[in-house]
Amino acid sequence: MGRTKFACALGLIAASALPLGANDTFATLASGGLVPMKTSDIVMQSEDLQISVHEITIHYLFRNTSDRDIDATVAFPLPDLDGGTVYNEPLRLPNEQNPNFLDFRVTSGGTPISVKANVRAFSEGRDITSRLASFDLPPSVLLAPLNCSLMKLEPGQRSALEKEELIVADGFNPSIPCAGKQGWWATWTMRVGFYWEQRFPAKGTVDLLQTYRPVVGGSYIVSGSDGSESARPYCGGADALRQIKEFENAHPAKKDWDPALIENRIEYILTTANNWSGPIGNFYLSILADTPQDIVLTCMPGLKRVTPVRYELNRSNFHPDQELKLLILQLAR
Residue 222, pLDDT score: 83
Those residues whose C-beta lies under 8 Å from the C-beta of residue 193, and which sit 6 or more positions away, are 9, 29, 33, 34, 75, 76, 77, 78, 117, 118, 119
Torsion-angle region of 130 (φ positive above 0: left; ψ -120 to 50: alpha; else: beta): alpha
Classify 51 as helix, strand or coil. strand
* DSSP 8-state secondary structure symbol assigned to residue 116: E
CA 192, CA 115: separation in Å to the nearest integer? 12
CB-CB contact of 288 with 51 (8 Å): yes
Tens digit of each residue's pLDDT, the chain (333 residues)? 455 444 444 433 333 334 455 555 454 544 444 454 577 899 999 999 999 999 989 999 999 999 999 988 777 777 688 999 888 876 777 777 777 778 889 999 899 999 888 889 999 999 999 999 999 999 999 898 999 999 999 999 999 999 999 999 999 888 888 999 999 999 999 988 788 888 899 999 999 999 988 777 678 888 888 899 999 999 999 999 999 999 888 888 777 778 889 888 887 778 877 877 889 999 999 999 999 999 999 999 899 999 999 999 999 999 988 888 899 999 886
Residue 217, pLDDT score: 67
* DSSP 8-state secondary structure symbol assigned to residue 130: H
Residue 24, pLDDT score: 53
Torsion-angle region of 180 (φ positive above 0: left; ψ -120 to 50: alpha; else: beta): left
CA 316, CA 208: separation in Å to the nearest integer? 20
CA 236, CA 191: separation in Å to the nearest integer? 32
List C-alpha distances in Å: 142 to 7, 9, 88, 189, 265. 29, 24, 12, 10, 20
Strand partners, 14: none
Burial of 114 (0-12, 13-18, 19+ CB in 10 A): exposed
CA 154, CA 159: separation in Å to the nearest integer? 9
How many of the other CB atoms lie within 10 Å of CB of 333? 11
Calculated CA dihedral for residues 61, 64, 69, 74, nearest 10 degrees? -50
Question: Of 161, 157, 20, which Cα lies nearest the Cα of 81?
Answer: 20
Residue 26, pLDDT score: 52
Residue 14, pLDDT score: 30
Residue 90, pLDDT score: 66
Q: What is the CA radius of gyration of the chain?
A: 22
The yes or no reply on domain 3-141+188-220+260-331 and CATH 1.10.10.60 is no
Residue 297, pLDDT score: 95
Residue 215, pLDDT score: 75
First to last CA, the chain: 61
CA 181, CA 296: separation in Å to the nearest integer? 37
Residue 137, pLDDT score: 95
Domains of the chain by residue range: 3-141+188-220+260-331, 142-187
